[in-house]
């Protein structure tokens, strides 16, 4: 991570951004301790151009703010040093000083009107209306400890540097010839024949003799060492651990049942159909037809609808959207049709096709649930009292077991567990409460020490102590012989498979047909078509694709399968270039990246040339003084 950040920060993209030392002050803020009292020496001089300690500190804080924003937290000075911020800022200021010196030699400058315009355009100095605010300007500069004349001088200096940068970089883009070559390169696809050789290709490996096994084990003894184990006793305190159902009387259970009887009641539901008519007259005509013996289904069909169209659902009364329909539906018997109802959406006929009566769970059926819930509620209420009683008992000299026993809490003892939660037999303890915190705490304490309780969620605790420590040690071969044999066999199998594949690859390169090798191995040759450079193929993986594009047509190679333990032997049989190699085939974002790379190279060369023309001096003591405030 550090190396990546240092590399990225060293590009001209970063340099260009960080040359503008006074922009975006309001993002993270800059130390209010910066002023004119840092010291009079220059941190950097390039010819007749110098960089003051104040400017170095401003640039340092600016870079620190940008990185803090990237990480989501304010970085400390130690973290900044680890990231190389001090050296990065120095490099940027040297580059800026060289450009300023070149501008001075060329006689470049900026009018006062242009400086004023650039200042007015700075978002940091704009008010709520989006226009320049002198009050905001004074406030921002006061916060960063900079005088207005210093800001204007620096802003003019940066604008002059930009003139040089623009003269070098303006309009520069990747040449069409380069982009065409890139289109050919990235658009190529290949056909690859391959064999997947599993471990079974080399057959079963004979067991090692004692001498070979002992030598192999001695070279890897640390790999089989026994870790430190600790004996841990803990007490878990959650509402479930102290809930006492026997303390809840029948009267309490009965009273709760009567109070919350609706909770155990399932309301009556009915399966309802509603047929809406365009007018009351049409509804009355349909009702008359029903009275005359016409089935409801036929009335629905006459309206150009199906039974699915009129199905409202199986609903409780309070869930029916239309109150008039609800009242009508819940007065009907099964398969009865209502008179015409004036519903919210017009005249309606309602039919009920099924009735599910209201059901009430009996007291006897729900009493155990109620008793448990009441006990848990009481446990929640007294949990902190139990916690305090345990702590008081320990403070009074009682042991963990004595304090737990007094409060009727269970003590759980783990005879041996390592820092990863494994027992000596290799099994993982899956039921440890707050396992990560408990193990971390247990391996940070000593035997017999009373430790601070660990919180479990919002209403639970774990009290624990270490009762014994078994130090880490080297195991003898006899203790882990079965595992050592298994590991040796796997490693030897992999070695033999690699050797086998290397032999086959040599035969391919010497001219043996791929089909001949496949036949000798009794393996099915497979073909991968349309393989693209940079793909993450399911069978090859990204490493396998890279290997396939590292050889010419007819070339061969081998790589580890992306999953499992097989090795892949391959041969490139066809190479297809794209039909068109226009620069437009390269994505716009990629074209911009390559153009930026050319600009970066050109600007790096410019700075290197200027370093040869103008002597550069760095005062490390002045740097240290600048960062001491």
Model pLDDT for residues 597-609, shown as the tens digit of each residue: 777 787 888 888 8
User: Could you give the CA distance from residue 31 to residue 304 in angstroms, rounded to a whole number?
Assistant: 78
Whether pLDDT at 429 is above 70: yes
Q: 3-class SS at 602?
A: helix
Condensed to tens digits (0 to 9), the pLDDT of residues 525-546 reads 999 999 998 888 999 999 999 9
Do 418 and 513 lie in one domain? The reply is no
Measuring CA to CA, how many Å separate 423 from each of 183, 232, 303, 347, 392? 57, 12, 75, 75, 33
User: Which residues touch 491 (CB under 8 Å, ≥6 apart)?
Assistant: none
Sorting pLDDT into bands at 50, 70 and 90, what band is 98?
Answer: confident
Do 161 and 82 lie in one domain? The reply is yes
Please give the residue that has the higher pLDDT: either 56 or 338: 338
Confidence at residue 621, expressed as pLDDT on a 0 to 100 scale:
85
Residue 183 lies in a domain: no
Do 343 and 457 lie in one domain? The reply is no
Please give the residue that has the higher pLDDT: either 153 or 486: 486
Q: Are 97 and 51 in contact (CB under 8 A)?
A: yes
Do 68 and 155 lie in one domain? The reply is yes
Do 240 and 389 lie in one domain? The reply is yes
Q: Name the one residue in this structure whose structure tokens are 């001089």.
A: 45
Q: What is the pTM of this model?
A: 0.52
Please give the residue that has the higher pLDDT: either 341 or 153: 341
Averaged pLDDT score across all residues of the chain? 86
Residue 589 lies in a domain: no
Condensed to tens digits (0 to 9), the pLDDT of residues 59-79 reads 888 788 788 877 777 788 788
Number of structural domains in the chain: 4
Confidence at residue 79, expressed as pLDDT on a 0 to 100 scale:
82
Do 467 and 493 lie in one domain? The reply is no
Strand partners, 49: 46
DSSP state of 447: B
Confidence at residue 129, expressed as pLDDT on a 0 to 100 scale:
80
Do 208 and 306 lie in one domain? The reply is no
Phi, psi of 387 (to 5 degrees): -55, -50
Whether pLDDT at 29 is above 60: no
Q: What is the CATH number of the domain that holds 343?
A: 3.10.50.40
Q: What is the CATH number of the domain that holds 430?
A: 3.10.50
Do 467 and 486 lie in one domain? The reply is no
Q: Are 40 and 55 in contact (CB under 8 A)?
A: no
Q: Are 310 and 300 in contact (CB under 8 A)?
A: yes
Query: What is the helix (H) or strand (E) element at residue 154, kind and residue range?
Result: helix 148-169
- DSSP string computed for 395-427: HTT--HHHHHHHTTPPEEEEEEE-TTSB-TTS-
User: Which residues touch 227 (CB under 8 Å, ≥6 apart)?
Assistant: 418, 419, 420, 472
Sorting pLDDT into bands at 50, 70 and 90, what band is 277?
Answer: very high
Residues spanned by the domain of 193: 189-218+481-576
Nearest to 55 by CA among 73, 30, 77, 75: 30
User: Could you give the CA distance from residue 622 to residue 297 in angstroms, rounded to a whole number?
Assistant: 96
For CA atoms 145, 149, 152, 154, the dihedral sign is negative
Confidence at residue 22, expressed as pLDDT on a 0 to 100 scale:
35
In what side-by-side order are the strands of the sheet with 526-532?
Answer: 526-532, 189-197, 567-576, 556-560
Residue 600 lies in a domain: no
Do 458 and 528 lie in one domain? The reply is no
Q: Name the one residue in this structure whose structure tokens are 């496949």.
A: 518
Nearest-10 crossing angle of helices 588-613, 176-187 = 130
Domain boundary among 454, 474, 494: 474
Do 310 and 427 lie in one domain? The reply is no
Sorting pLDDT into bands at 50, 70 and 90, what band is 24?
Answer: very low
Q: How many CB atoms lie within 10 A of CB 359?
A: 11
Q: What is the 3-state secondary structure (H, E, C) of 358-383?
A: CEECCHHHHHHHHHHHHHHHHHHHHH
DSSP state of 227: P
User: Which range among 14-23, 256-265, 266-275, 596-605 shows the weakest confidence by mean pLDDT?
Assistant: 14-23
Average pLDDT over residues 245-273: 94
| Burial group, residue 519, by CB count within 10 angstroms (0-12, 13-18, 19+) | exposed
Question: In the Cβ-directed half-sphere of 536, how many Cα atoms lie within 13 Å?
Answer: 1
Sorting pLDDT into bands at 50, 70 and 90, what band is 397?
Answer: very high
Measuring CA to CA, how many Å separate 60 from each of 34, 67, 77, 159, 588? 11, 11, 10, 20, 34
- pLDDT above 90 covers what percent of the chain? 57
Do 352 and 400 lie in one domain? The reply is no
Whether pLDDT at 401 is above 80: yes
């Amino acid at each position: 991570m550090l190396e990546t950040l240092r590399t990225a920060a060293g590009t001209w993209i970063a340099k260009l951004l960080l040359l503008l030392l006074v922009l975006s002050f309001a993002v993270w803020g800059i130390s209010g301790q910066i002023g004119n009292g840092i010291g009079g020496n220059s941190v950097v001089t390039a010819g007749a151009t110098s960089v003051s300690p104040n400017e170095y500190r401003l640039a340092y804080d600016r870079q620190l703010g940008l990185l803090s924003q990237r990480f989501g937290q304010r970085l400390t000075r130690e973290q900044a040093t680890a990231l190389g911020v001090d050296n990065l800022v120095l490099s940027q200021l040297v580059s800026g000083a060289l450009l300023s010196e070149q501008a001075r030699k060329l006689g470049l400058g900026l009018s006062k009107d242009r400086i004023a315009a650039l200042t007015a355009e700075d978002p940091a100095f704009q008010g709520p209306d989006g226009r320049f605010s002198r009050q905001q300007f004074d406030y921002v500069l006061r916060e960063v400890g900079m005088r207005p004349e210093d800001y204007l001088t620096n802003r003019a200096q940066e604008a002059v540097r930009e003139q040089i940068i623009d003269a070098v970089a303006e309009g520069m883009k990747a040449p069409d010839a380069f982009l065409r070559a890139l289109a050919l390169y990235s658009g190529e696809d290949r056909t690859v024949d391959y064999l997947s050789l599993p471990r079974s290709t080399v057959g079963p490996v004979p067991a090692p003799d004692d001498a070979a096994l002992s030598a192999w084990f001695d070279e890897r003894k640390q790999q089989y060492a026994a870790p430190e184990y600790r004996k841990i006793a803990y007490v878990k305190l959650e509402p479930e651990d102290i809930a006492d159902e026997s303390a809840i009387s029948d009267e309490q259970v009965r009273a709760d049942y009567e109070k919350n009887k609706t909770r155990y009641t399932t309301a009556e539901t009915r399966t309802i159909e509603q047929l809406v008519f365009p007018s009351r007259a049409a509804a009355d005509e349909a009702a008359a037809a029903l009275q005359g013996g016409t089935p409801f289904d036929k009335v629905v069909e006459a309206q150009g609808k199906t039974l699915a169209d009129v199905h409202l659902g199986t609903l409780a009364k309070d869930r029916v959207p239309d109150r008039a329909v609800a009242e009508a539906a819940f007065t009907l018997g099964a398969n009865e049709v209502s008179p015409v109802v004036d519903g919210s959406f017009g005249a309606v006929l309602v039919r009920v096709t099924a009735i599910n009566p209201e059901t009430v769970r009996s007291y006897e059926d729900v009493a155990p649930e109620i008793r448990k819930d009441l006990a848990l509620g009481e446990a929640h209420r007294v949990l902190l009292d139990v916690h305090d009683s345990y702590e008081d008992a320990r403070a009074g000299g009682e042991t963990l077991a004595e304090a737990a026993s007094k409060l009727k809490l269970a003590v759980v003892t783990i005879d041996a567990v390592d820092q990863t939660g494994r027992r000596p037999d290799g099994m993982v303890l899956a039921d440890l409460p707050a396992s990560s915190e408990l193990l971390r705490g247990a391996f940070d304490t000593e035997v017999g020490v009373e430790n601070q309780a660990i919180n479990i969620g919002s209403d639970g605790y774990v009290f624990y102590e270490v009762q014994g420590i078994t130090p880490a040690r080297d195991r003898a071969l006899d203790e882990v012989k079965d595992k050592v044999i298994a590991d040796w066999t796997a490693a030897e199998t992999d070695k033999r498979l690699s050797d086998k594949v290397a032999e086959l690859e040599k035969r391919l390169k010497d001219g043996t047909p791929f089909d001949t090798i496949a036949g000798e191995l009794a393996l099915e040759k497979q073909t991968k078509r349309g393989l693209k450079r940079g793909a993450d193929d399911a069978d090859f993986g990204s490493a396998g694709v890279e290997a396939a594009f590292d050889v010419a047509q007819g070339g061969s190679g081998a790589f580890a399968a992306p999953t499992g333990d097989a090795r892949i032997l391959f041969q490139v049989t066809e190479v297809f270039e794209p039909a068109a190699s226009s620069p437009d085939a390269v994505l716009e974002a990629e074209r911009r990246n390559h153009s930026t790379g050319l600009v970066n190279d050109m600007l790096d060369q410019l700075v290197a040339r200027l370093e040869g023309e103008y002597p550069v001096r760095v005062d490390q003591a002045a740097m240290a003084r600048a960062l001491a405030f």
